[in-house]
Structure 1
């Protein structure tokens, strides 16, 4: 995808939001855009024919459309669109499209698990935005592929490098092809084989056995696993956590988890490290993987970054490194929000997120 116009971006360690206008000349071909009413029966599994719209959106009275989007490397991704809020027509005829991207081990349901007045997907729709919800490869509704089956380890040979290069590109191009408008992007949380397993399924036997062994250690308290991974969330509703556990967490590639672990280990955001110079040279032409230079983000690209003081996944030290990389960003284009009591899950499941964070997001959009 050739990006020739960048608009506003919300970077919330919780979210990353970007307004992008893809080049239609190099966007997806019509044959690559698979909709619920015109799907390719070979590429699209039957499980994509019902899903998030029916489960969580229509039941609340909102309109919802299911789409499938094919990436250049053959994956078929599920996408949902909420074109209107409960008050139809709010926002006019040319509504601003917003693409919502969930984090690792999650899917698009992330944005819809709270009540409609507290879930970002519904809140944006009710405020006049055209809401599009992405589902990354390997998750419940995005397991289709042109030639590979999820039971084949080759299906899982990817990390967030490919998710950026292919999934994000295909989704942004698709939304642009349907709306003809720049796209606001909101993202949450992006934290070889492991034990010979290609698919990292948090609910699978291999991971369950690993957690059982881990929790048997006298020094490990696994009573609250969500808190163990995300930090001490302040504002989760018990019924919402129960609903979350009903639908989540989702599968991802073990390679993706290894890549995230490499980032933590090395303290550098770079492409996947294949573990030896020869393999990296074969893939990248260099002994070490290329580094993602965050300071290359255009200085005049509007950014909104929100992070929490209790977050164990995106802790304040990591955010400090990001802010240092953005130190030359235009002052009037960078907005930073710090929520002292918030941990990782509070940003998408917290009962106060609407008033503290979502209202700030909408205000940010409108200022730009």
Structure 2
């Protein structure tokens, strides 16, 4: 059962810098409330025992009745948390833009990140706490958070996923999950296939089996700001041909439209932990060219997990053809490469024509879709029109 806790605090009681407990009120008090928005906090427990924090902006700064506002859930990508939707000024941050346009905005924080580091029986120091990949995010986290919003509001919701937040949704949709609770989904920098990924750091790490090496050393948590993250980067950046002097561009591509202060905020707050297994899973996807569940590395282990010797494939063509999907991708994106997005669109070729929209923004890279200073005009206005059409 999910359980909810609504917290209201004054803006001076907490700060965004937070610990490994769960006190997610820092997001409300340090980021949302000072901008003049109402903010609420909830806890949701997944079926496998992880306690996740969600934040809700139920209405815009103009107030008004929140009763019948259309709910929309924002799902962040890997190595970040829900704060990523709040780093720009209100007129440029998707969460605030949606609230001001009349939506009931729900922001998730995935397991293992700053505000969602609790479990009913495990501690983050336990290796078992980190025994998951993005499979579990699709199988447990999304059903818990989407189901909770559906339960709280009594309405189907719109979904926005960035990067891994698109992959987990697509994977869930391909297995028939969530579809009965979702009105439409907008996928920004959609990650699915990774074969054509051009990020030097990502390709080098995947090719060098860097994630597997960490796992072999008994490392289960990947904290990009900790000793393990530093060791990982030193390992990858030492590979010939990899230039790490501009870490963000080397990882995401040449983002065109980021404000320097937003980049500073991102680097301060948004490099969040994930599981080593998630990195290994991405590497498997890159090396094999197909989207499958996590490969445990032996036919025996896979048989125990899946009842077959190799991991089952996610068939994106199985996504219900009537589910409205909007894919927004960038010509400069090194993680979600145009050729890989085209492979995904090929899988969706039988989708209902009036239910699939694809937008290529030539000058955008991976983070521009979330933090670009002009993203409202370039992407968000069309995204909101897409939601309105399918409400």
Alignment of 1:94 with 2:64, yes or no, is no
Distance 1:261 1:168 in 2: 22
Secondary structure of the 2:23 match is: helix
Distance 1:244 1:229 in 2: 14
Which of 275, 283, 290 aligns to 1:268? It is: 290
**1:222 CA displacement:** 1.2
Structure 1, residues 178-219: CA drift from partner, whole Å, max 9, x if none?
A: 100001111001167253210011011122023234434563
Residue 353 of structure 1 corresponds to 375
Distance 2:158 2:57 in 1: 15
Which of 41, 56, 59 aligns to 1:84? It is: 59
Structure 1, residues 201-242: CA drift from partner, whole Å, max 9, x if none?
A: 101112202323443456332111110010111111111100
Which of 249, 256, 264 aligns to 2:271? It is: 249
Aligned length: 332
Structure 1, residues 20-71: CA drift from partner, whole Å, max 9, x if none?
A: xxxxxxxxx3xx3131459xxxxx9754252211121001010000111111
Name the TM-score, length of structure 1 as normaliser: 0.87
Divergent runs of 4+, >6 A: none
Name the TM-score, length of structure 2 as normaliser: 0.82
Supply the RMSD in Å over aligned alpha carbons.
1.7
Structure 2: unaligned runs, 5 residues or longer: 9-18, 165-190, 192-211
Residue 228 of structure 1 corresponds to 250
**Kept in 2: contact 1:271–1:289 (CA 8 A):** yes
**1:275 CA displacement:** 1.1
Higher RCO (C-alpha 8 Å, min separation 6): 1
Secondary structure of the 1:48 match is: coil
**Kept in 2: contact 1:263–1:270 (CA 8 A):** yes
Distance 1:46 1:261 in 2: 30
Structure 1: unaligned runs, 5 residues or longer: 1-28, 39-43
Secondary structure of the 1:84 match is: coil
**Kept in 2: contact 1:194–1:254 (CA 8 A):** no
Structure 1, residues 49-100: CA drift from partner, whole Å, max 9, x if none?
A: 522111210010100001111111110001000001011127x630100000
Residue 62 of structure 1 corresponds to 37
Secondary structure of the 1:33 match is: coil
